[in-house]
Amino acid sequence: MHVLIILRVALKALVRNKMRTALTMLGMVIGVAAVITMVALGTGAQQQIEEQVQSAGTNLIMVRPGNFQRGGISQGMGGAPTLKAADVEAIRAQVPGAIYLAASVNTRDQIVAGGQNWSARIEGTDVEFPMIRFWALEYGAFLTQTHVQGAAKVAVLGSVVRDNLFGEGADPVGQRVRIRNQSFEIIGVMESKGSGQFGQDQDDIVLLPYTTVQKKLRGRNGTNISEITISAASPDEMEEISAQITAVLREQHRLIPGDDDDFMLRTLEDMASMMTGIIETMTGLLAGIAGVSLLVGGIGIMNIMLVSVTERTREIGLRMAVGAKGRDVLFQFLVEAMVLSFVGGVFGVALGFGLSEAVTRFLHWPTAVPAYAVALSVGFAAITGIFFGFYPARKAARLDPIESLRFE
């Protein structure tokens, strides 16, 4: 029997019971749509992480204090007062691959300007911060070496802080803000950068010389720093440069072989890979759960095809009596099952795209539907139709023509 004739007969048989056909396909539609939506959410999250890593800077290496114990009580990672400005200079002098470095001291406080106030993250940093983060200025200028050496009371605002204190898009250069009752002159405003690698708003920040934060906001003339941010010369040399930095800091801190590092060293790629791995696992889990509905849809197709075989027993017997072979009947019912699953898969893809777009538009979650997800979903839907349609088709092909004609 010609393939086109079989397909035409299959379509007529499905159209004859429109409601039953639609309800049978619904399980496949929901399954495919659920899988595509889950994969779109995971892919969108991965892409967002990659974009945030790029926006945070390239080839970043971050050095932070390690664990610290006081009276036998562990203060946890970051508690050790071990990093000094001298460590920055030692790395600069001894690690050629570290092209930009910035010491960092972080805190959070209330920023006041006129009758407005805003709570923001305050980051004490160094002059090479914009080069490390590839972050341009919208107005004014950035910190200079003179500002850092003199612990000057100058500030560079993020765009969110600027908008809330002076109005959206304003140029506040030359005006002053108060932090802990100390007056700071605004010398610049950074361009808007958006969310960071961990979801925080990078624009909700005030940048000061790190020496100013140490001496005038922390209330002590200390030399400890919270973090050293380093931009490596090449991504291919990250491992080698990290090893050189570790060796320099161990020498600076007079650690002997066998002593644990009193600092921790992380690359942005390491943290991004960890987060991406978690998201991939969650995406696979959710897609697997959504895939169960595909299985349910396949069982629904099998059930309806068995009912169809029973209803059309006399039709099958008549066809075989006039010369149709068993393989023709087998192929006929397989095509019907495949059409059910394939058409359901196509509608499921359309629904999946619609749901993904709705999630992005109304919930503001990033989504991206990869081509492989569409191909796998439709392909799996067709395979499901073949798998669950084979038994009913084989049952129909094995019917005895004479018994079939006698069937009431």
DSSP label at residue 115: T
The whole-chain average pLDDT of the chain stands at 82
Euclidean distance between CA atoms 134 and 231, whole angstroms: 10
Q: How many residues does the chain have?
A: 408
* Spatial separation of the C-alpha atoms in residues 118 and 206, rounded to whole Å: 11
pTM of the model: 0.59
Q: Are strands 116-125 and 205-209 parallel, antiparallel or unpaired?
A: parallel
Pull the structure tokens for residue 297.
Answer: 């849809």
pLDDT digits (tens, 9 = 90+) for 163-179: 999 999 999 999 999 99
Query: For position 207, what pLDDT does the model report?
Result: 96
Give the separation between CA 355 and CA 362, rounded to whole angstroms: 10
Per-residue confidence at 71, pLDDT binned at 50, 70, 90? very low
d(CA 404, CA 391): 18
DSSP label at 66?
Answer: -
Q: Where are the domains of the chain?
A: 3-52+273-406, 83-261
pLDDT at 50: 66
* CA dist., res. 250 & res. 238, Å (int): 18
What's the mean pLDDT in 353-364? 89
| Distance, CA of 105 to CA of 341 (rounded, Å) | 60
Cβ contact 23:353 at 8 Å: no
CA 39 from centre of chain: 11
Residue 359 neighbours by CB under 8 Å, 6+ apart: 37, 40, 41, 365, 367
Mean pLDDT of 382-396: 78
* Contact criterion met (CB below 8 Å) for 237 and 174: no
Give CA–CA dist 367/37, Å, rounded: 8
For residue 272, give Cα distances in angstroms to 51, 56, 267: 10, 11, 9
Could you report the per-residue pLDDT of 245-295, keeping only the tens digit for each? 999 999 998 888 888 888 888 876 666 666 667 777 777 777 777 777 777
Quick one: tokens of 211?
Answer: 């020496």
Digit-coded pLDDT (tens) for 114-165:
889 999 999 999 999 998 888 999 999 999 999 999 999 999 999 999 999 9
pLDDT over 90, % of the chain: 29
> Is 380 a residue whose pLDDT tops 60?
yes
Which three-class secondary structure state does DSSP give residue 23?
helix
> Which band of pLDDT confidence, cut at 50, 70 and 90, is reported for residue 186?
very high
